[in-house]
Structure formats: C-alpha cells, structure tokens
Chains A and B, each alone.
Chain A
Amino acid sequence: MNDFAGTTTLVRLALRRDRVILPVWILVFVSMAAGSAKASIDLYPDVASRVSAAETTNSSPALVSLYGRIYDPTSLGEVSLFKLTSFGALLVGLLAALLVVRHTRAEEESGRLELLSAGVLGRYAALTAALIVSAGTVIVLGLLTAVSLMGTGLPTGGSFAFGLTWIAAGLAFAGVGALTAQLTEGARTANGFTAIVLGVSYVLRALGDSSADGGSRWISWFSPIGWAQQIRPYAGDRWLLALAPLALLVVLVVAAFALIRRRDVGAGLVRPRPGPATAAASLRSPLALAWRLHRGSLLAWGFAFLLLGFVVGNIASNVDGFVSSEGAKDFVEKLGGVNGITDAFLSSEMGMLGLLASAFGIQAALRLRSEETALRAEPLLATGVTRYQWLASHVLMALLGTAVLVLVGGLGSGISSGASLGNMGRQVPRMLAAAAIQLPAIWVVTALVVLLFGLAPKLITTVWAFFGAFLLIGQFGPLFDLPQGLMDLSPYAHTPRLPGGDFSATPVIVLAAIALALLVAGSTTFRRRDVG
C-alpha cells in the first residue's frame, strides 16, 4: 500500500481544524512586522538619526545579543526592523514546529491516528500532511509580511528578503518538529525538545553576535536562526543563505521518515523513563499534588519572565539613546526628563508583564475544569479531601504562581535597568513594587475563572473572551475615545502606574476585595453543584 495514502485528506482535516487559529497567527505576525516598521520609520527621518541609533545598538552588548547586529547603519529598513529579524524568526520557528507536532504526535497520542495502523492511511501520511500545513503557513506568513512591509514604503528586495528570513527559520524548525515528534510518546515532551533546540539556536546566535569583531562570531553559524538572520534583509539581501535552512529541513525530514519506518504507531524512539515506585513522603495532600501538576509550567514561565524582565530593563536603559533628535528631547523633558520617560516605559512594560501573568493565572485556574472533565477530580474527591481543599490547591497555584511570575519579572528588570543606570539599590525595590502592584488586577481575572467554575462550568472558557475584551479596551480604548465607564470595566485600568506614577491604595484594595468575593462565590457554588 502507498505510504502516503490519505495525505490530502489529512491536510484538509488539519486546515479545517485550524481554520481560525492559522489566519489569526498569520495576521499577528504580519501586523507585528508592519506595525513595528510603521512606528519606527518616523523615528529615523534622516541618515544621521539612523546611524546614531545603530551605533547605540551595536555598542550595547545586551541589545546585540538580544536582537542581533545592525549591518548597515544607513539602512532605514534594517534599523527599523532589526528587532524583529531574529526574534521574529524564533517565534515563526516555534509556530512551525508546534504545528508539526500538533498534527502528528499529539494526534497519535490521543489515539486519533489509530487509523494509521488500520491501514487506511499510509505511514508517512500524517507527517507529510503536517509538514505541508506547517510549511504552507510559514510561506504564506512570510510572503504577506513582505507585501505588508512594502506597503509601509520599504524597498521591495529587502522586504522579500525579510519575509524569506522568517520563512527560512520556519522551515528549519518545521524539520526540527518533525524529528522531535518521532522521539517521544508525549506531545508535550516533543514540544519541550523543540523549545530546547530553539533556545539553544537563539543563544548560539546571541553568543556569536555579541562576540568582538574577529572573535568567535562564527558561533552564530551553528544556529538555524543565525543562518536566517545572516540573509541580512535591507542590508545586502543575501538570498542564497536561505538554502542552508532548506537543506536542514530536507535532512531532518529524511531522518524523521527513517524513524517512522522503525517504530510502531503510538510508540516513541526514546522509551519513557520509569519513575519512582513509591511516592515521596511529601506527596500526601492535594496541595502537594497540585504543585506536582503545576510546577513544570510554572518553572518554564518563571524562566521566561526572568528573561523578559532582563530584556525590558535593558531596553529601558537605552530609552534616552533612542530619542536622540532635538525635537524628541524637548518632548521628553516635558514628560519629566529621561528619568520620566524611562519610568513611563517601565511602567507600561510592567503592565504587559501583568497581562502575560494573567494568561498563566487563567490557564492554571482552568486546570480545575480540565481535571474535572478528565475524571481526575472524582477519585480525589472520593477520599478525605474536601471540595474546598481540592479547589484551593489549584487556586493557590494560580494565585501564587502569578505572584512569583511578576516578582521574578520585576526582579529581572530591576537588576538590569539598575545595573545600566547605576542605581541598583534603588531600582530593584522600585521594580519589585511596580510588579507587585499588578497582582490585584491579575487576581480578579484569575478569580473570575473560579467563579465560572462554580457557577457555569460549561462556559468556563469564556474567560478568555473577557480577558481579550479587557485587553482590547486597554489597548484601543483611548484611541477610539471609548467612554470612561466602559474602560473602567477592565480591572487592569485601575492598576496604579508604577514606577513613577502616583500610588493610591483605594483601587488596589477594591480590586483585591473583588477578587476575594469572586473566589468565595466560586467556591461556595462549587460546593453546591454536581461534580462531573
């Protein structure tokens, strides 16, 4: 029988399943590139301003390792977009690899690909289909990005080279996803491997880029992200370099096919490691179990928040370098000087961290419902564990988890901004306070999950709609002159702007009280309803 039989059916199935999420992701990337280009182009009206910005960047090891080097300081396109070249490539790579795993290993793990062994589908069909969907997505994404960049007035050649950078990274990591999907039985582990490869690629590129001229810059050449970046859009457009990631894709896909031939459907190449035969003495309460269930994701998020904090703090120390033109300087003075504008930047970035942490809080609290529907709550609730204890175990993970995240982010930004501004002792506590002040609003949204869990468990995922609405109100409310009453519906609107802004205790207390009320209402209604 044909090894590829059923591939087209699977492609159609995947496109149907992802008919919403794929266009959304493509739109996010395209608008990220176009939006960022539009916003930066006006900042650099003349060559002198670009050269000065590029020099600031190239002389900041932090910025170079984070984003890469600017190769042509006179190029408007490169100066405007260098932050998105390799960073965007990283994200596109992530998207491409996740897509492949989602349509191969995740399906296989869930048992939906049993049809494979039933002989209806060829054994290569699932992977081939996933690669087609992933590569197709990445290519469309790259081309639309190129077109949208042209639309902002940037040169055609460079714009397509930029799109190609993203496509190249996406294809290389689609190959990585194809390979990791064969290794383990769990999709989560496959995604974990992919994330490690992505992280290592990014770090290699960062190490190479930030090395001194003539030093170990060659390290970047071990990284697929490095290859993509070296296409150098708007600064040479070295098209042929796209062949390197393409070759990697071919090699990885051939290897993945070879692995498929050697393994059974559902099995991985890496045998799952056995664990302990008895439980640790500490695993004796619902809280201990909740910690086991949440700690992996909290650790990963915590690491990301620390990095993000460092990055944000680092950029903050360069804010005055970015606003170098005379006109901007006046404007800045009016805002309270360089300190004022740095603080304003940091406080809005802390708000962003708060939103991100809320996503963690929501996801952690939603675990209540997924444990219930997966029938894993029932056996626990049939032991000496009360409903309140069980609920509290997950809610605590969500609430304390968000606290850990924002504080770690605050610490990172305090350290890095303090180090470069030379006032660590002052900056760290300020940033920790700015981080902590985000918590009441985060907790209101997290507590909303708990309320829905008790009151309307079947509608619990509507919390994402609430979250999205709060987000939109916050981002676009002022732009569209929405009435204040509407904007006040978002809990995030009431968070004091720190550092730099005025602190007022009232909104903080009110938000905390609302969160508490939601928690109490959610848990009492849960105590009264049927489980299952």
Chain B
Amino acid sequence: MTSAIVVSGLHKSYGSTHALDGLDLEVATGEVHGFLGPNGAGKSTTIRVLLGLLKGDDGDASLLGGDPWHDAAKLHRRLAYVPGDVNLWPNLTGGEVIDLLGRLRGGQDPKKRDDLLRRFDLDPTKKGRTYSKGNRQKVALVAALASDVELLILDEPTSGLDPLMEEVFRQCIEEERQRDRTVLLSSHILSEVEALCDRISIIRRGKVVETGTLADLRHLTRTSIQAELAASPNGLAQLPGVHSLDVEGNRVRCEVDTALLDGLMKQLAASGIKSLVAQPPTLEELFLRHYEDDAAEPVAATR
C-alpha cells in the first residue's frame, strides 16, 4: 500500500497561536480519508501546508511522493482542491471559473463537467458576484470533481450546501471511491464522514488523536444494550467494561465497551435472553468523548 499523504510531527504557529502541534497523518492511495475535528482544530492549516501555501515550522510532509513546499506547482497538476471559503471573481461566470481551474490543473472531462453541473443544479452562466455561498462552493466542487487528477483535497466542502445537495455530493464521492481516486475530506460533520470514509483521523488542538477505520474506532467506543431476560440477572455490575447499568426486574439497560461485548453476552445468556437491542456506536459518541476531555482539560491545566 502506497501513501498519497504522509505527515509526521508537523508544527505550525501563527504568532502565538500554536495551530499544529506535532501532527501525524497518513492517507493511503485510493482511500477516502476523513479528517474530522471541531472548528479551529487545525484542519485547514494542515491542508494549506500540504498545498505548499504555508511553510511548516517543523516536521515532515510528503504529498504524492513529493515535497509540498518545493514541488508545489508540479504536484498541484495531479490534485484538485476545494477551499472552505470559496470566493469567485465578480466578473467571471461560474462556467468560466470551472474551465479555467480545470485547464490550470492539467485537464478536465467536459462530459463529466456538464453532468456535474446538472446534478448540482448549478447555472454556469451567472457572474461570480451573484452566486450564494452554497453556489460558489458548487462551482469549486464541479471544477475539482471534473478534473483529471489523482487526489482530491476537500476542506469542509458541504458547509454551504443544502441537504439535497449534500446527498448529491455523497454520491459523487462514492463514485470517486469506485474509481480509486484518493480523497482527503475535512469535516466537522460526523455523519458525513461516517457515511463516506474508509478511514478517519480525528484532529484536536493541532494533533491527530485517533486514526483508523470506522471499525477500528468503534473498538474505542461503547455499544448500548437493552435486553429482556427470562430471570433477573446477576453479576452484571462486577463485569469489566459495563457502564450505566440499570436493572428493573428482568429488564436490563447498559453500555458496554465494544471490545468487551462478549463477556456481557455470556452473562446475559446465562439468565435467558427473551429480546435484545444492541445499538452500534456512532461517531457522535466517539467525538463526544473527546469533547468531554476538552471540557475537563482546562480545569486540569489551571495552575
């Protein structure tokens, strides 16, 4: 497996703001990689370093096998980038911008371009100043998706889109996955990343705190269980990994560390299971745990 992006120990400060604090990130060729984190976590900064727009203070970054700072223009012909804030030239039409960006990247597929325009319901004859935020974003998305490139770098590309268009976007990314294009998708929307990505890196305060497939990450989370048993259960409270236990007669509700699910199941089966509902963890929960840490940390940090 080759890597499209490898970042290790990257640091970047803006004056006194330490935006990246030893960030590690690896995106394999051909995967859709989710780059998930709250606002201000350092997603855009990382992407700008990868694009050679910012120079990292320390650490290494490699992009498509090259150095993002020194080989910037050469590498850029092989990728397409959609910024988080898209601004267009007031007097150029959306169609002109799409064509221009495609040509500067090294080609685009005209059929795909027209198809995308239709699917995103975008009028390419309007002037840049007359587009709404969502439509400006669509212009950049169409330009990127229609380009003949190996790698797509998308920085919160759906922040201005309505739900219908988000769905179109998801289909498009699904198609890119099938074509084996590499995608780095930054987002603070959990459901989006959950639905689209092969692997996920979670960034918090300039550091990647978790990385892996959705399945890998689920091991770090809890499954919630509701069961109705034949007899009243016993010994549940002593089991490792069981939390928020609530027993009412023969009914049980609890949460269990997903890795320790097996032990709980055996114990429940011993009392005879009549019905069982198990809810897999969502990224929401995963994320909440990091937020909980976030909330706790300032207290710990008080000197």
A interface residues, Cβ below 8 angstroms from B: 109, 185-186, 188, 272-280, 283-286, 289, 292-293, 296, 374-376, 378-387, 389, 528-532
Residue of B90, B100, B126, B130 near A279 (CB, 8 A) is: B100
Residues on B with beta carbons closer than 8 Å to the beta carbon of A273:
127
Residue of B nearest to A380 (CB): B104
Q: Is B118 an interface residue (CB 8 A)?
A: no
Q: Count CB-based A-B contacts (< 8 Å).
A: 121
**Across the interface, do A374 and B87 meet the contact criterion of CB distance under 8 Å?**
yes
In the assembled complex, the Cα of A261 lies from the Cα of B55 at a distance in Å of 52
Instruction: Take A289-B100, A375-B85, A532-B53 as given contacts and tell me if A384 and B76 are in contact as well, using a CB distance cutoff of 8 Å.
Output: yes
Q: Is the CB of A384 within 8 A of B100?
A: no
Most chain A CB within 10 A, of B52, B97, B99, B105, is at B99
Give the nearest-CB partner of A371 in chain B.
Answer: B89
> What distance in Å separates the Cβ of A136 from its nearest Cβ neighbour in chain B?
31
Contact check: which of A109, A286, A292, A531 meets B53 at CB < 8 Å?
A531
Asked whether B265 is an interface residue with its Cβ less than 8 Å from the other chain, the reply is: no
Chain B residues, CB < 8 A from A285: 104
Complex CA–CA separation, A276 to B130 (angstroms):
14
Chain B CB within 10 Å — which of A381, A384, A386 has the most?
Answer: A384
Query: Is A530's CB under 8 angstroms from B53's CB?
Result: yes
Instruction: Check A292–B91 contact: CB distance below 8 A.
Output: yes
Is B103 within 8 A of A284, CB to CB?
Answer: yes
Q: Check: B72 CB closer than 8 A to any chain A CB.
A: yes
Q: Does B30 contact A (CB under 8 A)?
A: no
Task: Looking at the assembled complex, report how far the CB atom of B290 sits from the nearest CB atom of chain A, in whole angstroms.
Answer: 27
In the complex, are the beta carbons of A278 and B73 less than 8 A apart? no
Nearest 7 CB-CB pairs, A to B?
A279-B99, A274-B125, A383-B104, A275-B93, A382-B81, A279-B96, A277-B95
Taking a contact as CB atoms under 8 Å apart, the answer to whether B105 and A272 are in contact is no
List of A residues within 8 angstroms of B85 by Cβ: 375
CB contact list, B68-124 vs A, under 8 A: 72-74, 76-77, 79, 81, 83, 85-93, 95-101, 103-106, 123-124
List 18 other contacts, CB 8 Å, given A272-B129, A283-B96, A528-B55.
Answer: A185-B130, A186-B129, A273-B127, A274-B93, A276-B96, A276-B125, A277-B124, A283-B99, A380-B104, A382-B51, A382-B79, A382-B153, A383-B76, A383-B101, A383-B105, A384-B76, A386-B72, A530-B54
**Closest residue on chain B to residue A293 by CB atoms:** B89
In the complex the two chains form, what is the Cα distance from A185 to B90 in whole Å?
11
Flag if A278 contacts B95 (CB, 8 Å).
Answer: yes
Once the chains bind, are B127 and A382 in contact (CB under 8 Å)?
Answer: no
Are B91 and A279 in contact, with the CB atoms below 8 A?
A: no
User: Shortest Cβ distance from B147 into chain A, in angstroms?
Assistant: 9
* Interface residue from A272, A292, A380, A383 paired with B126 (Cβ < 8 Å): A272
Cα of A530 to Cα of B125 in the assembled complex, Å: 34
Tell whether A385 pairs with B87 under 8 Å between CB atoms, given A186-B129, A272-B127: no
B140 within 8 Å of A (CB atoms): yes
Q: What is the distance, in angstroms, from B93's C-beta to the closest C-beta of chain A?
A: 4
CB pair B99 A379 closer than 8 Å: no
16 contacts between A and B (CB under 8 A): A186-B90, A274-B123, A275-B92, A284-B104, A292-B89, A292-B91, A292-B92, A378-B48, A379-B81, A381-B51, A382-B51, A382-B79, A382-B153, A386-B73, A530-B55, A531-B54
Contact residues in A for B124 (Cβ distance below 8 Å): 277-278
Closest partner residue, chain B, to A374 (CB atom): B87
CA distance A262 to B89 in the complex (A): 29
Whether A378 lies near B99 (C-beta < 8 A) is no
CB closest chain-B residue, reference A280? B96
Q: Closest CB-CB distance, B127 to chain A, in whole Å?
A: 6
In the complex, how many angstroms separate the beta carbon of A298 from the nearest chain B beta carbon? 14
Chain A residues with Cβ under 8 A from B92's Cβ? 275, 292
- Closest residue on chain A to residue B12 by CB atoms: A530
- When C-beta atoms are compared, the residue in chain B nearest to A382 turns out to be B81
B96 pairs with A275, CB closer than 8 A:
yes
A384–B95 contact, CB under 8 A? no
User: Which residues of chain B are within 8 angstroms of A280 by Cβ–Cβ distance?
Assistant: 96
List residues of chain B with CB within 8 A of the CB of A380.
101, 104
B54→A283 contact, CB < 8 A? no
Interchain CB contact under 8 A, A272 and B130: yes
Which residues of B have CB within 8 Å of A531?
A: 48, 53-54
Q: Whole-angstrom distance between the alpha carbons of A273 and B93 in the complex?
A: 10
B83–A375 touching, CB < 8 Å: yes
A376 to B81, CA, bound (A): 13
In the complex, which residues of chain A have a beta carbon less than 8 angstroms from the beta carbon of B130? Answer: 185, 272
- Bound-complex Cα distance A274 to B55 (A): 40
Minimal beta-carbon separation of A300 from chain B (angstroms)? 14
A529–B86 Cα gap in the complex (Å)? 22
Which one of A276, A277, A529 has the greatest number of beta carbons of chain B within 10 Å? A277
Report whether A283 and B100 are in contact in the complex, using a CB–CB cutoff of 8 Å.
yes
Q: Which residues of A contact B90 (CB under 8 A)?
A: 186, 188
Give the residue of B52, B74, B93, B140 whose beta carbon is less than 8 angstroms from that of A379.
Answer: B140
